[in-house]
Amino acid sequence: MAQSMLELANVESSYGPVQALRGVSLSVPEGRIVTVLGANGAGKSTILKTISGIIDPQKGQVKLRGVEIQGRAPDQVVRAGVVHVPEGREVFPLLSVEDNLRMGAYTRRDPDGVAQDLEAVFGYFPVLRERAQQEAGQLSGGQQQMLAIARALLAKPQLMLMDEPSLGLSPKLTKEIFEIIVRINRERGTTILLVEQNAHMALKIADWGYVLEVGRIVMEDSCARLAEKEDIREFYLGVKAEGVRGKRRWKKKKQWR
């Protein structure tokens, strides 16, 4: 396996008295796409928020290239090369598309590089060039998602944290977005940690996957092997044994093996 870009060791995070992460350890190798699957409330977003410094963990380490970054302010984490594409896009609705993109480059001091990257993201998302002067709030959901990813790219990240990019998108758009995520990874060598409920797509594009259940990792494997696991097929991919009656309502117990 390639060298680790990111390592989490025994991370515990909570929202007030509610403990969302109960000891999570995971590793994201450089240049790879790693996905974390899990149901609502499993703690997927919390992992990303803890990495990007929005939440400080009570316990455990977050290491970026071997350097501990847990507890740092979010802007310092961005400067260290980690960008968070939040759930629900969070674009600045009243700024133009271009200004949104420039906000992404806020920490950079190389105008030439920024100009280059701006061209590059217009290459990935031509529609953003067409709408460059429009207010971001007027974009469709899919376009806003594209903008959020593009904005993140402008920070020239080494590691992108993506929180449910498929949320609220049509299957066709989802497919497009995921294709671009793969291209970003392949062409720019950006390491990606992807949190998804759409297990189907995530398992297709990622190299390695973790399954998170109520704040703990219960399973990890290559995505190819995960997609073959019985529990993943039943609980995440919706593939069920038909049974003798042709319909089955009862659920097996999850065993995670």
Partner 1 sequence: MEEEKAVALSADALPFGAQPADMGPEIDTVPKMFLRGVERRSAQVILRQKAFGIWQSVGWETLGRIVREVGMGLVALGYAPGEVVSILSNTNREWVYADLGALCAAGVVNGIYPTDAPTQVEYLLADSASVFAFVEDEEQLDKVLEVRERLPALRKIIVFDMEGLRDLDDPQVMSLEALRALGAEHDAAHPDEWRRRIAVRRPEDLAILVYTSGTTGKPKGAMISHANIMATLAAYQASFPQDARDERMCFLPLCHIAERIGGEYHALYTGAVMNYVENPETVPENVREIAPTVFTAVPRVWEKFYSGVLIALRDSSRLQQWAYKAAIDIGRRVAALREARAPVPAGLRLAFWLARRLVLDNVRKAIGVHRARVLITGAAPISPDLVRWFMALGLEMLEVWGQTESCGAVTGNPKDGVKPGSIGIPMAPSEVRLSPEGELLVRGPGVFMGYLNQPEKTAETLKDGWLHTGDVGRVDAEGYFMISDRMKDIIITAGGKNVTPSEWENQLKFSPYITDAVVIGDKRPYLTALIMIDHENVEKYAQEHAIPFSNYASLCRRPEVQALIEGELGKVNQHFARVEQVKRFRLLETKLTAEDEELTPTMKLKRKLVNEKYRDLIESMYAREAA
Minimum separation from the CB atom of position 162 to partner 1 (A): 20
CA 153 – CA 159 distance, rounded (Å): 10
Between residues 61 and 134, which has the closer beta carbon with respect to partner 1? 61
Element of type H or E holding 148:
helix 141-153
Closest CA to 180 of 145, 214, 213, 211: 145
Residues, the chain: 257
Between residues 56 and 75, which has the closer beta carbon with respect to partner 1? 56
Would you say 35 and 219 are in contact if contact means Cβ atoms under 8 Å apart? no
Between residues 135 and 231, which has the closer beta carbon with respect to partner 1? 231
Between residues 8 and 101, which has the closer beta carbon with respect to partner 1? 8
CA 202 – CA 192 distance, rounded (Å): 12
Minimum separation from the CB atom of position 191 to partner 1 (A): 18
Between residues 27 and 96, which has the closer beta carbon with respect to partner 1? 27
3-state SS record for 16-58:
CCEEEEEEEEEEEECCCEEEEEECCCCCHHHHHHHHCCCCCCC
Angle at 36 between CA 33 and CA 39, to 5 degrees: 150
10 Å CB burial of residue 200 (0-12, 13-18, 19+) is middle
Minimum separation from the CB atom of position 27 to partner 1 (A): 9
Between residues 62 and 153, which has the closer beta carbon with respect to partner 1? 62
CA 169 – CA 124 distance, rounded (Å): 18
Minimum separation from the CB atom of position 224 to partner 1 (A): 17
Minimum separation from the CB atom of position 61 to partner 1 (A): 8
Minimum separation from the CB atom of position 60 to partner 1 (A): 7
Element of type H or E holding 75:
helix 74-79
* Site residues, partner 1 (CB under 8 A): 8-10, 12, 22-23, 25-26, 59-60, 210, 216-220, 243-245, 248-250, 253, 255-257
